Amino acid sequence: MEPLNQNNQSNQSQYLQHKKERREKKKMAKRDVSGEDIIFIFEKVLEGWSTIRIYNTIIQSNPTSGITKEKTEKYSTGNCKIYEKEVSSKQQFQYYTELREKVYQFHKTNKVV
């Protein structure tokens, strides 16, 4: 009876891993914006750029980017999750997570009442 239980746990773990990968692919495809662009947006928000300036810069440098003005607005709030496999290194992913936290703090402290 013990090997059957281990087999079920193995199958469940494989299923959960497959489910996670499927969701990541779906979310990346839906976003249509690279992880590099998201990092760029976060950096420029922290430098004080307007979202329209960020959008125009991305479009000029990469005309085939799937970004829109609305997506730039949304992502500039920090509301965008990228996955580790979207960026070139683990350090860059760590940099992204730090930037995202800074963007959240930036908007929290700079709220207009």
% of the chain surpassing 70 pLDDT: 92
Q: Which two tokens stand for residue 73?
A: 């607005």
Gap between the Cα atoms of 103 and 45, Å rounded? 7
Left (φ > 0), alpha (ψ -120 to 50) or beta: where does 16 sit? alpha
pLDDT score recorded for residue 77: 92
Q: Please write the tens of the pLDDT for every residue from 52-71.
A: 999 999 999 988 888 999 99
pTM over the 0.85 mark? no
Q: What pLDDT sits at residue 11?
A: 85
DSSP 4: H
Rounded Cα–Cα distance for residues 89 and 68 (Å): 27
